[in-house]
Amino acid sequence: MDRRRFLFASLAGALAAPLAAEAQQAKVPRIGALLLSAPQERFHESFGEGLRELGYIEGQTVLVEYRSVTAGQADRLLDLATQLVRLKVDVIVAYTTLSGDAAKRATAEIPIVAIAADPVGTGLVASLARPGGNVTGLSSTIADLGGKHLELLRELRPGMSRAATLTLASSPLARPFIEQIQLGARSIGVRIRPVVVRGADDLDGAFAAIVKERVAAVIVQPVLATKRSADLATKYGLLSVAAAGSFAELTTSTVHSRRSSKSEWPP
């Protein structure tokens, strides 16, 4: 079973109990979607497609309450999760580890289907085989990809001797993310300059500091793989990579935009 099918199988299982208990009352089940740094439109489209595969029609046979924030607003996740609990949703879908943690702190009763990296190491679940509590879902390998990203950057710039990491201070994945990259860096002789930000407002200063250190590339934690990060990496001519497909699209879009403006980027 692939990751997508497992995710929606977990969601179907979480909805099954409330549906059975409330069938006589004809209540439409309600899902809470708690998102961090995910384009809501793209998530909405993909999520709606998955629901249809399960036989649900959003807005008719199932209701979805979306709550989303950017990386700079991560401290609002607990408040948003509490809102979903107050709405008495039947299940919460939490996108990212921070969202899962916020949902778990907000309720010990409502089932939570989380898409998270290293859920065991961050304490989201007891183990992958036996999660325990009210949390289930998918585990990603984002932290482990850090070393692979470094290898890719080294292929693009063979003489690279220094690189930076950009991580979010409040993320439980920041430390393992940096550790995996540093482990890979030692094996190929690259020095790593960790740069940590507290939110989106710190990005300008962070990229300025990275450039001052004369590093060639930056590996961006997915939670910070935003348009602003892509714009700044392009502005300073830094190689940049993140385990988020949207980041490559944002970077490409920024490059094309700059090339079309003679005042900023001569053709």
Residue 258: the pLDDT is 46
State if pTM tops 0.85: no
Domain spans, the chain: 3-140, 142-259
Domain 3-140: which topology?
Answer: Rossmann fold (3.40.50)
**Do the domains spanning 3-140 and 142-259 agree at the CATH topology level?**
yes
Residue 4: the pLDDT is 53
Q: Each residue of 39-72: pLDDT tens digit?
A: 666 778 888 888 888 888 999 999 999 999 876 6
Contacts of 23 (CB under 8 A, 6+ apart): none
Lookup: tokens for 244: 């988020």
- Rounded CA gap, 61 and 260, in Å? 47
Higher pLDDT, 223 or 234: 234
Q: What is the mean pLDDT of residues 187-213?
A: 92
Q: Each residue of 111-127: pLDDT tens digit?
A: 999 888 777 777 888 88
Name the strands in the sheet holding 217-220, side by side, starting at the edge strand that comes first in the sequence.
191-197, 162-168, 217-220, 239-242
Domain 142-259: which topology?
Answer: Rossmann fold (3.40.50)
Residue 69: the pLDDT is 86
